[in-house]
Structure 1
């Protein structure tokens, strides 16, 4: 966690803008810094009294040179240093996560599989440190950070150089952290302290991770050192077959004789668990939530200073466009809803009492992934729809195009309209590569003033950097994964993204509220189906947390991808019913929701049943049949046919298409209305791209679907979660989630 800078702290160091303090010690201060490209770093600045010591400078210089040779994905890399500066400094990549010590203290011991995976990754980190000619000498839970893509070993050979903790200069000197030292370190046998000492420390660290307590207890340093040399490690709590491999590994690492310990390469080879690449799935949900909270703190950091551009900006815009960011490291965790997890209690309180208030010419390009975006010779101002019109999201994409088209037709037909707008349409087929190509065509047409779309999350993520570079406003109507919210926040100098809906993670709060408020629902079951990946994992975890933090209890269960095609949901549903649950919530795809609904009906389950937006799909109704009756669902889109304020829109839509509007049609109509109002705010012609984006963020709208408002960063702050219930084989809108009945 960061602390504010103090008056005596510098504002910048070594090309880093300093954002806060990460820690301080006798040697110096560690700051959180940001490079000009946007990358975060931990920047260590040496204090003046040490900087004036030639011997210290020589040691610091040597340590930096060694550390730069460490190459491992599981060891934090050195990104810069100046050992000759007035205030010597060094920077390393910043890991936005808690230490292992904090994770175990707050969330409890790790399960056996997680311990083994952690052991394998850290063994590889130590192997790299040893290959670089270093001995870490302080492998402790505090020096392992849990990041969204794996753990990182930090402080190798540098952090305590001035205090002798990493440079062993004399026989009999005890260095490191008591309780996590090898016997040879505990006795000050300097000549015998080498790479094997790190392996012993790793064993202590893993024992702590597996049991929740250090293997040689706690207390006075002298007592810890004595036990390390003379006593056997305390591995209580690791009984049972599931811990067999862990105990064997720990006893090998904790051999008193350095020659009896395996080297890191042998440890790596002996562990059978595979390393999950770039994921958090190997960690318990509680630890993932803690990691998310740490990562979300980074989302509130000060923005990147704008850089000066020479000449006009892309797409004909003015100079001074945003610098292209050089980081995406937090997106993996943000895909799991980091910001919402950290702010879950606030989100719950905010949504639990909020209800909705009532409110009062075409060109196509790229339909097959190519072709110009409209007629470059027409010269008039244009707005664009960037949608999936032919791929898996075509139903939503087509509804969005229809909604925007209707708003534009009304605008152009209105008497006194200051100018006529042309609609340009790009179809990306739901393919991210095509989405980037479509975005490039639209961005390259200076007549296009704003884009509504894309339809899907992957396409939106691919298109956003292109629109960002061109300063072309992008109004995202249907993308809801939290990766897009994180993208905007992490860009921090983003000037183009406007989300017109809450992210998917916000759907967790009304679901948790219903579990708490439903009559007779005192012990709900929450089934997470990983067929939808990290999004269902984070949503289910947040629901469990919100219920428990507000005095309730849940019975959570998880099924892996493919359960529908293999053993089915019968066993897990039976186990949950046998546990005495009185309500059921399912987080997964519509096919899974249908199968679960049939299982609950067959078992005669009488309690309330809930699910979320992915199941708000005809597939759920078709496959579940009568078992779908009575299910309650939460969604970010509404049914305008059920809203009095949307009567004119629904009539106009039916006149054009012969049927009622589908999901996202009303929201797209509102997004276009918001855009058109902003384009006509001035007395002259429409504003250019760069001026339009801040106007959109300052706008509010009482739309046909809901009321809209936005943060200065372009994040959605209006209303927008709705409840549906299945009645007589159809989804029936109940109203905003704040008024479920």
Structure 2
């Protein structure tokens, strides 16, 4: 929850507003409280849209639809005012993560958990469809996990199925979330109940495998795959495959109805009407249960109230059971059912744990956490990042006027699977006031929610995923994230510009390898946009599935692109695949301009491509310190400290650590102790820092870097050579 801003109202109807839960372009969702103390979520329309009669009509219908749905698995409407100066809608507050966040952080559910989840959501849809309504946006981000079961939320684009009902969106407009839309809706058709079943099938496939069945990437690519490709259900438990395949049938008539789906998802088909478990501890993984408990406890983080005096009994040694800590049910009882006890006797302790030790007992010797790949595929990058941070801290501690001595605590991110645990170790250390890293996008997705929960500032050095915050936090913005480098989206723009400089370039070939995920899709989409709109080129794009290199290989795809008459080439994918493509192009005698993003700027590319790598150009966000004017002092200090030449990312990590150290000093000005985490997170957004690689300044709202140069490299004589700014 973010604090209220100066222009936010303090009340909506009879509800006192306590803080912001989230905001979009058209409205803000607040956490509120009734006079009786019940927490509520209040969605309020922005003033600029309140005067739009069309928008007001849609909001009015959302309130009407939400009231019409009477089901235990949807949020209960408590009040609304759709006619006032600023319309609002209040619903019961669910103190838990979205399904999207739970799967991203804790991994897929087991088969029994998917069945329970599917039966519950199918029951909610059955009630919706029985009332003549369709939801139109069933997705993991619209399912909240509470201690007493999930809730389907957000009826903002729901609509009646009655053919005579007046539509509130234009004909042919695609409404919903690409990747979860049914084929008929992706093509602009009329939505119906069968479309919700398709979306639910996508949601359950994601819950079972940890990934959406039609992949990720640009909206147009997702819509195309939904209409033309079969879903990717690899890794789905065998018992779920038949029912999920039927839910994901292209023809709406081939999909089961909601009631039939409830029956087919029963563990025992002979007892399809057995009530589902409301208690989350019986069907959700322990990590998810702990996440729900943490969110329930955070709901106690409310504005101050008059203190209540409580006489506490003398302390006694803990029992053996108490020393082991609460189990899954105990966690939920403490966080949900035991809220009154926490609020009176243990509230301060609980909140200090969640805040990472803010307030009394703040660390006198703060630590910078480093989360990096120290043993995996990108360990060379991770090692450079750790060394850069250590060098910056050593220089800080050597200053006579340094207000605090800083220590470094490094953790191996352990890939996407281990990053959340490593981040949890750092978050649990009250001395750690900020974390730098992690190295890879997958680890970043797992790390951000952990730091968000602990209000622990997270400064990303090399992760470039553009949609990181919204994807990792279920569509929400982050309070703690800062990007110390440009995103993949910004790195893609120079490629199209450099293509335009190539003599005779008119038909660039653009090849996306889906092994690299969202990053590759963004690179190809932006390059195509720049080439086509800005320079009048006619791109020839191709998209290949993950694993093509290990299976049939790239030869047929490259041959097809050459036959299409391409005169230049852009590849977005991992370095191993780039090397295979480079060999195919060289064998065919292709010597036109060849470009790739920084994922390919990896020793593996040159090692596996050999002479075929010569002449490739790459866009990167990092410098080569030894070839950068003005970095001489940094290079000399690095050599002295580590008896080695600085590698890629060392200077960027040095600067990112310098930025955080400056933020610590600014936030602690006039105080004799280091700043609390939340204060540091705010202070870092205001810091301007001049480092070895350039100037750092951030958008205070989004936490994104204001501007930084990108850099152009070329492979020459078997090495990456920095040519200058891209």
Same fold (TM over 0.5): yes
Structure 1 CA distance for aligned equivalents of residues 664 and 126 of structure 2: 62
Distance 1:60 1:629, change over 3 A: closer
Task: Quote the offset at 1:501 in angstroms.
Answer: 0.8
Task: Quote the offset at 1:64 in angstroms.
Answer: 5.8
Residues 1:587 and 2:575 aligned together: no
What residue number does 1:688 align with?
Answer: 675
**Which of 595, 601, 609 matches 1:624?**
609
**Which of 317, 341, 357 matches 1:316?**
357
Task: Quote the offset at 1:683 in angstroms.
Answer: 6.1
What residue number does 1:221 align with?
Answer: none
Residues 1:649 and 2:582 aligned together: no
Residues 1:525 and 2:509 aligned together: yes
* 1:372-391 matched pairs, under 5 angstroms: 380-391=365-376
| Greater displacement, 440-449 / 644-653 | 440-449
* 1:279-428 matched pairs, under 5 angstroms: 279=212, 281=214, 285=218, 287=220, 307-308=302-303, 311=348, 313=352, 314-318=355-359, 380-428=365-413
Matched residue SS, 2:542: strand
Matched residue SS, 1:558: strand
CA contact (8 A) 1:702 1:708 kept: yes
Structure 1 CA distance for aligned equivalents of residues 11 and 217 of structure 2: 38
Matched residue SS, 1:637: coil
**Which of 696, 702, 721 matches 1:732?**
721
Q: 1:90-119: CA deviations, max 9, x gaps? A: 7799xxxxxxxxxxxxxxxxxxxxxxxxxx
Distance 1:667 1:581, change over 3 A: same
Q: 1:414-452: CA deviations, max 9, x gaps? A: 34444433222233333544x334434433433333332
Task: Quote the offset at 1:640 in angstroms.
Answer: 0.8
Task: Quote the offset at 1:412 in angstroms.
Answer: 2.4
Structure 1 CA distance for aligned equivalents of residues 413 and 403 of structure 2: 32
Matched residue SS, 1:482: coil
* 1:114-133 matched pairs, under 5 angstroms: none
Structure 1 CA distance for aligned equivalents of residues 698 and 88 of structure 2: 41
Task: Quote the offset at 1:608 in angstroms.
Answer: 0.2
What residue number does 2:274 align with?
Answer: none
CA contact (8 A) 1:78 1:91 kept: no
Distance 1:133 1:14, change over 3 A: farther
CA contact (8 A) 1:478 1:501 kept: yes
What residue number does 1:176 align with?
Answer: 165
CA contact (8 A) 2:366 2:674 kept: no
* 1:30-429 matched pairs, under 5 angstroms: 33=29, 35=31, 67-69=69-71, 80-82=77-79, 134=130, 136=132, 144=136, 175-176=164-165, 277=206, 279=212, 281=214, 285=218, 287=220, 307-308=302-303, 311=348, 313=352, 314-318=355-359, 380-429=365-414
Distance 1:562 1:92, change over 3 A: farther
Residues 1:703 and 2:691 aligned together: yes
Structure 2 CA distance for aligned equivalents of residues 455 and 408 of structure 1: 19
Structure 2 CA distance for aligned equivalents of residues 639 and 658 of structure 1: 17
Task: Quote the offset at 1:276 in angstroms.
Answer: 6.1
What residue number does 1:295 align with?
Answer: none
Structure 1 CA distance for aligned equivalents of residues 197 and 453 of structure 2: 44
TM-score, length-scaled by structure 1: 0.58
Distance 1:687 1:617, change over 3 A: same
Structure with larger Rg: 1
Distance 1:65 1:317, change over 3 A: closer
What residue number does 1:535 align with?
Answer: 519
Matched residue SS, 2:714: strand
CA contact (8 A) 1:70 1:131 kept: no
Structure 2 CA distance for aligned equivalents of residues 672 and 283 of structure 1: 32
Distance 1:405 1:35, change over 3 A: same
Structure 2 CA distance for aligned equivalents of residues 471 and 463 of structure 1: 12
Structure 1 CA distance for aligned equivalents of residues 612 and 532 of structure 2: 29
Distance 1:515 1:702, change over 3 A: same
Distance 1:470 1:729, change over 3 A: same
Residues 1:549 and 2:546 aligned together: no
Task: Quote the offset at 1:134 in angstroms.
Answer: 2.3
TM-score, length-scaled by structure 2: 0.60
Residues 1:456 and 2:440 aligned together: yes
**Which of 701, 717, 721 matches 2:710?**
721
Task: Quote the offset at 1:628 in angstroms.
Answer: 0.4
**Which of 654, 660, 683 matches 1:669?**
654
Output the aligned Cα RMSD. Answer: 5.2
Distance 1:156 1:732, change over 3 A: closer
Structure 2 CA distance for aligned equivalents of residues 447 and 156 of structure 1: 43
Can you give the 5+ residue segments of structure 2 that lack an aligned partner in the other structure? Answer: 1-6, 33-38, 51-59, 93-119, 144-151, 170-181, 225-298, 305-346
Matched residue SS, 2:130: coil
What residue number does 1:334 align with?
Answer: none
